[in-house]
Structure 1
């Protein structure tokens, strides 16, 4: 609302009454109930219509970081171009329904619709016009000549407007591509390269070339909301400046192309590409284990039940605890459990220790063994027993 000058700006009064609200289906309640209620309470008429779109899934699965199937739009934009990416999203989603994204489908659509259909139409039409019309837009032909394409263009305008009103953007693009297909068919049926061989066909050749260039202008205008960069390039290849002045009325009125405007063959509008199938990221194991050992190695570890007889904090350490234990003989061990257990709470507990570990000195205290505990984000937990074991018993 503030973007269009709420509350008193002229743009607010002009645009807000026509506002269409677009949201994703997961936020329907706040935008369909709370927001209109707030607007009404403020004395403001709600938007005209609430339009709810679906989700993009990835390779038929819901996008998830844990699955590693998240689509990265900026990477795709850099790889294939912004216009191509916009085209696929708008062409392959039926507004209101979920749609499926895969890079293979994207590339197939790019090659088929953009490279083969639109790209070839622009390239062939401009190249032939440069060759057969001295590099310039020819004069408009007699109004009765080659009228099928301009009539179809005007029909397409009406269809596209109806689709926009219904937010059927994919159908709008389908209608535009029918015009693109008709123009490509017109080239195949009339074979300008053969007409150019006979001077007697000069008038028909120029009429055909003019109508093809006229269709290019119409297509450029129609695709502007979807692919603004491609639209600018097409108009630029026709030598048409001040592209912002062209709109649907240009097509409706049948405004003539500027005869004599210089044509230019630029780079390919949409080069064909191949999908580089990326290997899926390796799945992270549910549990990260250390390298396997054989039974003989494990059997060397002597695990024993120990009873804690006394416990005290090790001076100058915030986690080490000195334990006097009984495993059939008394010994001292040092354990880093001071952040999870108070020394006075440990006395009397039965624990599991590695009894045959070589002694090690920790903070000046010699430790003759190591207790076992689980290590988790919430802290350490001593390994216990469901019933009181015999002190010194072997743990298998």
Structure 2
């Protein structure tokens, strides 16, 4: 039986529609999942929506509807985003589902049995937008002198009865974890931030609220609902059947990687392992905090008006084109920037003019000159040299993707595409058609082998296009003629509005 691999995204908070940041994380996780499947792993991939908390309650109240109605409507948008972007999830989880309530209450009871929960009164600064508590010394001044969270969001002074988790008890166990397993938090910049935060001292954490009721009820304290982050993080084990010893649970836990944004690293790399230690549950193997996707170098915000609908981008440029751009353009783990002209330039240069044109020229010549019959690869030195370059590039892509260095892997892959185009120009099969038809056949056969290998390697990034191209090539097996090929990646053009913004 193949080796299991369990990957999750952070579940999205659906108090507003999806934006390009949600799409970026979903696409990156999908590339990892598809890549691991291509390596023979038995992959389980989970994403979903985090539907409880004060923000959802307030948004619903402002619309004059119940929180569940808002959650039902908005969660559907996130699922549609994943489906449109060809995200191959195994489960789209919703925290309002009954099995999630059961799992959240089970982990609460396990932590309570450990003696790690106690009832007290909470007084402190709370950010509704972040659904997070902050210490006084973490706050930053705003333009008008008001206090803001480290993320720049408004905070308000909150006083209420609350259950607390003995997070302070886990300060040293967490530091021991980070020291023993340096790969637990990646990249290193995130790990260093977390270590510094924990070394600064951990205070017990308020993990229930009484000021609203949209959440998972606390067992035995019906007027309390769980702190939304305790409930949200539990989704990763809900999806495998916790607290039951299901086949999914035995096979896939602990998770291989929780893929998350850098703004929620603290919750995943401090609170989550502490909750799991308390409940006696194995820890995930890795927390990977990727960077932000910026619009022309600026963070996206509704007030600035630069929030982009990812479905509009996918519709305008193509799903695979958008996926390729995001994985190629951004150094994974760091912040990256995008714009319409950057997408057009990258896709036209690399997918349309280079890879797509290579496949189109090769298959069109076979269709026109060889009655669609794919010939065997050549065995001349230059043929072998090209295929060796392709093999080396595909091997480097495999190594780099295994280490989440997508842009580096795609750069190596692109080098092999350029080598193929240089080879076709040097060999000039259109000229060989008259002077040396046998050699023309060997050149075209070599190119088909190269294109097929390159297509298989890049398939996790551009799955629909790769599937179409591989099907076209494979239709020529057993001496069957291939049909006339159609361009995979038509050249993109900027709209008038996009040209004006460029």
Match of 1:262 in 2: 481
Residue 46 of structure 1 aligns to a residue whose secondary structure is coil
Change in CA separation of 1:37 and 1:105 when aligned onto 2, cut-off 3 Å: same
Q: Deviations for 1:269-326, whole angstroms, at most 9, x for unmatched residues?
A: 1111211142799xxxxxxxxxxxxxxxxxxxxxxxxxxxxxxxxxxxxxxxxxxxxx
Change in CA separation of 1:18 and 1:197 when aligned onto 2, cut-off 3 Å: farther
Task: Determine if contact 2:341/2:498 at 8 Å carries over to the other structure.
Answer: no
Q: Deviations for 1:40-69, whole angstroms, at most 9, x for unmatched residues?
A: 223332221211111111122111111111
Task: Determine if contact 2:354/2:418 at 8 Å carries over to the other structure.
Answer: yes
Change in CA separation of 1:279 and 1:203 when aligned onto 2, cut-off 3 Å: closer
Q: What's the offset of the Cα at 1:223?
A: 1.3
Match of 1:112 in 2: 349
Report the structure, 1 or 2, having the larger helix content: 2
Task: Determine if contact 1:126/1:237 at 8 Å carries over to the other structure.
Answer: no
Alignment RMSD: 2.4
Task: Determine if contact 2:362/2:444 at 8 Å carries over to the other structure.
Answer: yes
Structure 1: unaligned runs, 5 residues or longer:
241-256, 282-396
CA distance in 2, matches of 1:119, 1:43: 52
Change in CA separation of 1:279 and 1:39 when aligned onto 2, cut-off 3 Å: same
Structure 1 segments, 4+ long, off by >4 Å, are 4-7, 140-145
**Structure 2 residue corresponding to 1:3, chosen from 224, 239, 261:** 239
Residue 52 of structure 1 aligns to a residue whose secondary structure is strand
Task: Determine if contact 1:104/1:275 at 8 Å carries over to the other structure.
Answer: yes
Change in CA separation of 1:100 and 1:135 when aligned onto 2, cut-off 3 Å: same
Q: Does 1:219 align with 2:454?
A: yes
Q: Deviations for 1:5-56, whole angstroms, at most 9, x for unmatched residues?
A: 5553444444434611211011111101111112222333222121111111
**Structure 2 residue corresponding to 1:159, chosen from 396, 406, 415:** 396
Q: Does 1:77 align with 2:314?
A: yes
Structure 2: unaligned runs, 5 residues or longer:
1-236
Change in CA separation of 1:188 and 1:279 when aligned onto 2, cut-off 3 Å: closer
CA distance in 2, matches of 1:280, 1:34: 46
CA distance in 1, matches of 2:462, 2:342: 19
Q: Does 1:64 align with 2:301?
A: yes
Q: Which one has more relative contact order, counting CA pairs under 8 Å at least 6 apart?
A: 2
Q: Does 1:49 align with 2:300?
A: no
Match of 2:493 in 1: 274
Match of 1:382 in 2: none
Match of 1:21 in 2: 258
Structure 2-normalised TM-score?
Answer: 0.49
Change in CA separation of 1:3 and 1:186 when aligned onto 2, cut-off 3 Å: farther
Change in CA separation of 1:133 and 1:18 when aligned onto 2, cut-off 3 Å: farther
Q: Deviations for 1:353-384, whole angstroms, at most 9, x for unmatched residues?
A: xxxxxxxxxxxxxxxxxxxxxxxxxxxxxxxx
The aligned length equals 264
Match of 1:335 in 2: none
CA distance in 1, matches of 2:248, 2:268: 23
Q: Deviations for 1:191-240, whole angstroms, at most 9, x for unmatched residues?
A: 00111102xx2332211111111111112111111010110111122134
CA distance in 2, matches of 1:176, 1:279: 30
Which range is displaced more, 84-93 or 41-50?
Answer: 41-50
